[in-house]
Amino acid sequence: MTHSSLEPILRDRPVGRYAPSPTGDLHLGNLRTALVAWQSIRRQGGIFILRIEDIDRPRTVPGAEERMIEDLRWLGMDWDEGPDVGGPAGPYRQSDRDEIYEAALARLKAAGLTYPCTCSRRDLREASAPHGEEGPVHLGDCRNGIRGANPKPRNGASTRFRAGLDPVVEFNDRRQGPQRFDLNRLCGDFVIRRRDGLWAYQLACAIDDALMGITEVVRGGDLLTSTPRQIALMRVLGLPIPEYEHIELVMDDEGRRMCKRDGSCSLRSLRAKGLTPAETRELIMKQPILNHGDTETQRIEHKKF
């Protein structure tokens, strides 16, 4: 696959992936997601991919990718394609896929599905924008030209996708059941390239899953509302759409969802205590979880059939 190609790789088996961000060491919640995704594909005799989602370069921690790979291998996981083993669908680091995202953006622009925008969250709040399921909804104020007197703002402009042209997205989640979202209510026109030039997660993830031939996406329930945006992008680009399974999040000792920034229990700390890989896998899969619908897991309401 050339870097500028938007042709998905053809697969003859199920394909899954784990796609961590190198922003710190993996905690038990990250690892539970990785294990569930890996076990699902291995049961099916499929292909498992490790992809590094490092598009947010300012947040990338030096050495984090190497530590993640070491931790996953120590835990007993393997992968058929990835940044350290190569494969036909590479590159497997998002930071190496700029040309691919540029090609996707060019196709969206050519179809009239994007526009530049200088609106900030503060702008939307001050404009009394309706409050959607994830905060202020962008009403498309910049669709016909950037607002304000300065056509070239000092801080640059982001690029938004015209989600409102076909806003309803339906899919069946293997864990959560049938889902139906209206993007006009969820988020409005959403950013696919940030004003600092970095690619937005929604575009990069959608393009990578489609072009790498991913057939099933297993990830945390906190990303459930990202799925309709990614499906919307795949849909307009004529790309294949995988199946989705959004699993429950793991709780920390205080009953909150685990996250890297608050120092939640890492695999490194368990290794330091002398646990074996088998003991660690068992511990991870027995961690208390936040059930779908719990406040900490899903603060965002969405519609189900």
198 vs 259, residue with greater confidence: 198
User: Which residue carries 């982001």 as its tokens?
Assistant: 158
Span of 78-87, 98-107, 122-131, 295-304 with lowest mean pLDDT: 295-304
What amino acid positions are annotated as catalytic residues? 260
| Residues 6+ away with beta carbon under 8 Å from 185 | 132, 133, 137
Q: Residue 91: helix, strand or coil by DSSP?
A: coil
Question: How far is it, in rounded angstroms, from Cα 258 to Cα 8?
Answer: 34
**Is the C-alpha dihedral spanning 231, 96, 156, 146 positive or negative?**
negative
| Residues 6+ away with beta carbon under 8 Å from 253 | none
- Contact status, residue 78 vs residue 48, Cβ threshold 8 Å: yes
Q: Residue 213: which of 188, 194, 239 has the closest Cα?
A: 239
* CATH numbers and ranges of domains, the chain: 15-304 (3.40.50.620)
Summarised one tens digit per residue, pLDDT across range 17-67 is 999 999 998 988 899 999 999 999 999 999 999 999 999 999 999 999 999
Distances (CA, A) of 87 to 191, 258, 285, 298: 30, 32, 30, 36
Summarised one tens digit per residue, pLDDT across range 57-77 is 999 999 999 999 999 999 999
**Which pLDDT belongs to residue 287?**
77
Summarised one tens digit per residue, pLDDT across range 82-121 is 999 999 999 999 999 999 999 999 999 999 999 999 887 6
**Which pLDDT belongs to residue 273?**
87
* Token pair for 177: 């059941």
User: Which residue carries 């990835």 as its tokens?
Assistant: 82
Question: How far is it, in rounded angstroms, from Cα 258 to Cα 20?
Answer: 15
**Which pLDDT belongs to residue 293?**
45
* Residue 10 predicted with pLDDT over 60: yes
* Token pair for 274: 């002398």
Question: How far is it, in rounded angstroms, from Cα 159 to Cα 157?
Answer: 7
Distances (CA, A) of 305 to 53, 78, 180, 181, 188: 32, 37, 7, 10, 21
Output the CA torsion 20→21→24→27 (10° steps): -30
* Residue 163 predicted with pLDDT over 80: yes
pTM: 0.88
* Token pair for 123: 């702008």
Q: What is the mean pLDDT of the chain?
A: 86
Question: How far is it, in rounded angstroms, from Cα 284 to Cα 26?
Answer: 12
